[in-house]
Amino acid sequence: MMLDYDLITVGNHELYREEISKYEYENLVPRYGDHFISTNVQYLNDDDEWVVFGNNTHRYFETKINKYKILSFSFMFDFKMGNKRVNVIPITEIIKQSWFIELVEDYSLNYEVDAIVLFGHIPVAHDWFEMSQLHNFFRSHFPTTYIQYLGGHSHIRDFSILDYLSTGLQSGRYCETVGFLSINDLPTVEENRENYLSNNVHRKYIDFNLHSFMHHSNHTVLDDFNTEKGLFVSKELARYSKDLQLDEAYGTVPHSYYISAADYQNKDEKSLLRFLEDEILIQLQPKSCNNKIDKLPTLSDSNDRIILINTGGIRYDLYKGEFNRNSLFTVSPFQNMWRSLPSVPTNIALKLKGILNDREYIINSDTGINLKSPHQYAIERKHDIINPNKISSNNANDFNANVNESKVSLNSNYKSNANNDENNAKDNEVFVVNNLQSNNNHLTNFKGDHRLPLSYGYTTTDDSGIHGDDTIHRRLMSYYVPNVIQSHETVSKESLSEFTTVVYYDFIEPFVLDALREACDGDEELFERLSIAVQYYNDCPVEYNLGQLLKNYAVNNWN
């Protein structure tokens, strides 16, 4: 809350829990005044009135230096899992509402608008349906105005060219990236329409670290770089960290574990998903902590056990070194309870994982629940990473057909440069290093006249080519990540039991029951008998969430 922003809005993670939404509305919204806007998110206040989750639905302001007139709106994707005090109006609906149409028409007819900034929690990818709907709406009202999108949610570095006078920038995830975008000569937009983007719009993805910040502020001495306000913020962060005991150590991770940079399918020892399956999930025990919930069922000792979790609940890699409370929240911050199907015929139980992993990213349109993280889904779409277990005629070209059809036709110079960059990047790694040098990307792999090995990191290709990454890195491999993973424990080493207890996060119950119905192969009587038996397996989310299971393992094995 100590930084000043021209524009700020709410994200989806502030909408899950009522107390968090209330805190943000009552504290952040007043702090940022008319800079905090939200066009399609509403809040139910203490007077039982639905109001804007912000100080307004839009902001019209003038920039300090060039006096450009900016019109801005903020949008959330079609999020359906908010608490009872929030409401997200789908973009497809709000662009049809009379108040919104009249507001946009008023600005297009009666105000000077040099540029439109549309920002918020929505990906800028060509294949994101809401994005195209939004752009078509605004372009119909502002046919010759520059439109800039600043997106999010899918957590990737991305830059999309939507038409000759519009681009979208997305700046990665968490505090890994600072997205920098420059737009020059806005008054010349109409007269230079055909070449405006290539000559005047430039983006950079800056690694979020001290080295990058000192480089771009032209400082080589730390004391010269530091400011009084910056040192105060650092001191406050350290104090909060201490108060929350985030540095409480539980053990030392022997080597790094990766979500997508290790091959889960081929049982890579560095696969975090495989590690969770083999070592972590099996620690879960049935337990009841909540008197309001029915007592746990009596489980048969003769049943095998499967534990299913969605990979979207695993948010980050686990790095070699100290494993502490901060690491715990970084890898998996969620506090889910566990549900179970007590006695499922084993032949049916063993089908569930395969069925769930054959499904698309979102299979429950009523809730909008995602099995896979938006970050992983976006990476797989962007790089044509196909489920290796699917054997069909669908190849990478089919997979990306809709995306390619939706891309605009750029002027030949801009388009050919981007294509050549991408082809050269694939064919010649040395060329990439030299070419990026010539485009003022700063390096961390040179010491004097000696070239040192490149460190692993982001190597981004987007609609503008390969020059977006500010620091040159060596590319990390990216393997397919399934929707769900499971541990499988058998009573006997020689054979499977007749029945299996299926345990899963309560968060993914709609998926599991949907998969169970399919696994029953049309036998509705069997499905009803199995699904009606669903009960809690463990209702102690503080003690038995995934992060805590990791902590227990670290204490017992990494000391």
Question: CA-to-CA distance for 331 and 455, rounded, in angstroms?
Answer: 22
pLDDT category of residue 422 using cuts at 50, 70 and 90 = very low
Indicate if the pLDDT at residue 438 is higher than 70.
Answer: no
Question: CA-to-CA distance for 75 and 90, rounded, in angstroms?
Answer: 9
Question: CA-to-CA distance for 373 and 361, rounded, in angstroms?
Answer: 9
pLDDT tens digits, 216-227: 999 999 999 999
pLDDT tens digits, 153-210: 989 999 999 999 999 999 998 889 999 999 999 988 888 888 899 999 999 999 999 9
Cα–Cα distances in angstroms (integers) from residue 280 to residues 350, 547, 548, in the given order: 20, 10, 10
Please answer whether residues 512 and 522 qualify as being in contact, where contact means their C-beta atoms are separated by less than 8 angstroms: no
Strand pairing class (69-76; 58-62): antiparallel
- What integer pLDDT is reported at residue 253 of this predicted model? 97
Strand pairing class (304-310; 484-489): antiparallel
pLDDT tens digits, 84-112: 999 999 999 999 999 999 999 999 999 99
Is the torsion defined by CA of 434, 435, 436, 442 positive or negative?
positive
Question: CA-to-CA distance for 398 and 171, rounded, in angstroms?
Answer: 28
Instruction: Find, among 545, 476, 473, 487, the residue nearest to 256 by Cα.
Output: 476
- DSSP line for 249-267: EEEEESS-BBSSSS-TTTT
How many other CB atoms are found less than 10 A from the CB of residue 180? 15
Burial 336-352 (b: 16+ CB within 10 A, else e): bbbbbbbbbebebbbbb
Q: What is the mean pLDDT of the chain?
A: 86
- What integer pLDDT is reported at residue 293 of this predicted model? 66
- What integer pLDDT is reported at residue 471 of this predicted model? 94
- What integer pLDDT is reported at residue 263 of this predicted model? 95
456 or 280, which is more confident?
A: 280
pTM of the predicted model as reported, rounded to 2 decimal places: 0.83
| Partners of 309 in beta bridges | 485
pLDDT tens digits, 214-273: 999 999 999 999 999 999 999 999 999 999 999 999 999 999 999 999 999 999 999 999
291 or 30, which is more confident?
A: 30
pLDDT category of residue 25 using cuts at 50, 70 and 90 = very high
- What integer pLDDT is reported at residue 370 of this predicted model? 66
Indicate if the pLDDT at residue 403 is higher than 50.
Answer: no
- DSSP line for 73-124: EEEE-------TTEEE--HHHHTTSHHHHHHHHHHHHHS--SEEEEEEES--
Instruction: Find, among 530, 536, 506, the residue nearest to 367 by Cα.
Output: 506
pLDDT category of residue 484 using cuts at 50, 70 and 90 = very high
List, in order of start, the domains of the chain with CATH numbers.
250-385+481-557 (3.90.780.10)
Q: State the amino acid at position 452 in one-letter form.
A: L
What are the residues whose beta carbons fall under 8 Å from the beta carbon of 243, sequence distance 6 or more? none
- As to burial, measured by CB atoms within 10 angstroms (0-12 exposed, 13-18 middle, 19+ buried), residue 32 is buried
**361: which DSSP letter?**
S
Please answer whether residues 273 and 332 qualify as being in contact, where contact means their C-beta atoms are separated by less than 8 angstroms: no
- What integer pLDDT is reported at residue 325 of this predicted model? 95
